[in-house]
Amino acid sequence: QVQLVESGGGLVQAGGSLRLSCAASGRTAGNYAMGWFRQAPGKEREFVAAIGWSASSIYYTNSVKGRFTISRDNAKNTVYLQMNSLKPEDTAVYYCALGSLRSDPAEVDYWGQGTQVTVSS
C-alpha cells in the first residue's frame, strides 16, 4: 500500500501563489509517475499536471500552462505544485495522484486525501 499526504492548500486572493506538497510513503519502490488532479463543487475530477520519475516527462492541462509548475524530489518521495497567478476558477480540492502520467483519473493507482485551494476575487 502507498499513502499520499498533501499539504499547502489555503485561501489566497486572485493573482496570488500557493505551493502544494505531496509526500508518498509505504510501498513506493520502483519508478512511478506522480501528479495532481482537482475537483470543483459539482464538477468531475480533472487532470492538472503530471511528472515522470526522471522529470523528463511533464504534462499540464491547458488552463494552467505558464502559471503552474510541477516538480519532484525523489529522495523525499515528494511532488510539488507551484501555483502562481491564481484565478477564482482554480478553486477546487486538489488531489495528489500516483501511478500514471495520463489525464484519466481511472488510471491512477493511489490518491491523496485532498487539500482545499480557494481563490477569492
pLDDT tens for 54-108 read 988 999 999 999 999 999 999 999 999 999 999 999 999 999 999 988 889 999 9
Average pLDDT over residues 25-39: 88
Percent of the chain with pLDDT over 70: 99
Mean pLDDT of the chain: 95
Q: What is the pLDDT of residue 27?
A: 79
Residue 36 has pLDDT above 70, yes or no: yes
Count of residues for the chain?
121
Question: Residue 24 — very low, low, confident or very high, per pLDDT cuts 50/70/90?
Answer: very high
Q: What is the pLDDT of residue 51?
A: 96
Give the pairing of strands 92-98 and 110-111: antiparallel
The cell 477546487 sits on which residue? 92
Q: Which of 6-20, 22-36, 54-68, 107-121 is the least confident region?
A: 22-36
**What is the C-alpha to C-alpha distance for residues 19 and 54, in angstroms, rounded to an integer?**
21
Q: What is the pLDDT of residue 62?
A: 97
**What is the C-alpha to C-alpha distance for residues 45 and 63, in angstroms, rounded to an integer?**
15
